[in-house]
Amino acid sequence: MKFVSGYVRELKRYTKEYLAALFELADDKVDAFIKNLKAAGIIYSVPKNTEQIELSDLMDEDIIVSNNTDDDCLFVFKYVGIITVGNTVIKCYPKYLTSYTEHDIATGKVPISELKQVLKVLSRFAAKEQIINMYNGDDQKASFNMLAVILYLLNDYFEYGVYVNDEEIIELNGEGAILWEKTISDGFALIKNDAPYYVDLYTRRIVDNENDYIQRLHKYVLTQCFRQLDDAGLVELFDLSEVNISDEKLSDFGETDYILYQLQAELNVQFNTRKQSLLKTLYAYIAQEKTLENNYGLSLFGTSSFHVVWEKVCAQVLDNQYERLKSEIDAPQWYGCDDADGKYFKAGNKVDTLIPDIIVLDCSSESKHFAILDAKYYCIQLQKGRQPANYPGIGDVTKQYLYELAYKKYIKANSFDKVSNCFLMPTQGTETIVYGAVSMDMLTELKLQPIQVRLLPAETIYRCYLDYESFPFEKIKLDDECYESLQSV
């Protein structure tokens, strides 16, 4: 079948006409396409106005909770990753990659290298959870996620190879381990000096049964998985090596019910955890094989919560020290009041308290630096003569001040020379951008540091994450004189 693919930017506002042209959808198909994605929580409707077009983040109040797909709406993809809807492949790249225009996309200038790296980050992130998301959604209308299954099967193969059912061969005088019990009971021995000497030794050799039904089936499925991704134009994006290890057809293995019976029978006698997971996934693939080609099938690889990925990635590459210092933050203590005598009493144990994103202790130079960092997934706009846009809310700002206040005693007790507070946001560039700051007078009067804003090079951050390296603290380019600088503005 012919696949049609196109690139869209996360949270960019698109018209229905543009989507229909990009994905070659007929007028009678585009509404169903949008409705299907809405049901999966991938696409949202927002008002069609200038203010919406200028925004790069989606607020709850922007969303139109409706199945209406008429010309009064713009459509927003709240997703990063790959989506397939029947024969349509949607490649959603992150919102901070703003340099790619609709003209660029139409003429073939696409963010393939950037999205390829993001998909690797998502793969690493998902691997930590060790979950195969076989279904999209939680209700009875949930659709089978064939794309996730295909990627699991291929990645499992690249790591472990094909399914192996070992066959035990017992032979005389072979090169395997000696079976002494069988040799003694069945063999012929010569006695010399009261010691037995065996003429022949029974040995055991373990070999791969290459004609094993399950192994043949596994090779067939792997070959089909690769071909499906190749047909959909996704092999390069997922950076996959070619897999062409079977010439067999599905009919060579019998009817679908027979194949599923064989997989279930193998599963019943297999106790290796990895093999159990593989057999269950093969079962799911065979049972749902036509899903990727089905006009209504929806498959996903990615996330609608990329902000979580950005936060976790930044925490890793900046060597977050929060766990080490979380006991330094006070928790709220609740008190009850005795109605009889009016005296207060402590009401049980302390409850949850403030949890900063990232704490960095930099003692690499002569001075000691305490930094409170918050990874924020925003495309902030701070420009002269214009209102700020796409910025963290008042709750995020006040929490950052409270984090510094919570650590005041620790900072003083450990003689830190510098204290910084900063929002970290992704950018397409290759260098950190000193972008701005935010402050509140009533908190500045308490000598709390303004919250600086830095745009970090996402490509470099992801490379550090994938290579298990650290991003140098000094490259955040924190301004030691930020407090004084803002006083003069």
Q: Which residues contact 144 (CB under 8 A, 6 or more apart)?
A: 134, 135, 136, 284, 288, 291, 297, 299
Overall pTM surpassing 0.75 (yes/no):
yes
**DSSP-assigned letter for residue 98:** T
What is the spatial distance between Cα 299 and Cα 232, in angstroms, rounded to a whole number?
Answer: 12
CA-CA distances (angstroms) from residue 422 to 4, 187, 194, 233, 372?
Answer: 43, 79, 85, 40, 6
Residue 140: what pLDDT?
Answer: 41
d(CA 24, CA 6): 10
The pLDDT, as a whole number, for residue 139 is: 47
* Residue 134 CB coordination number (10 Å): 17
Every domain of the chain and the residues it spans: 1-112, 132-165+216-297, 167-208, 306-487
Q: What pLDDT is stored for residue 472 in this prediction?
A: 96
Is-contact 449 483, C-beta < 8 A? Answer: yes
Q: Facing residues of 171 across strands?
A: 203
Q: Could you list the mean pLDDT of each consecutive 10-residue stretch along the chain, which spans 489 residues?
A: 89 92 90 89 84 64 55 89 92 95 91 96 79 52 75 93 76 76 77 79 68 91 95 93 96 94 92 90 86 64 93 96 90 87 83 89 88 96 90 93 93 93 95 95 87 97 97 93 80
Query: Which residues make Cβ contacts (< 8 Å) with residue 222, sequence separation at least 6?
Result: 153, 154, 157, 162, 243, 245, 246
- Structure letter (DSSP) for residue 178: E
Cα gap 254→191, rounded to integer Å: 57
Dist. CA 474–CA 358, nearest whole Å: 15
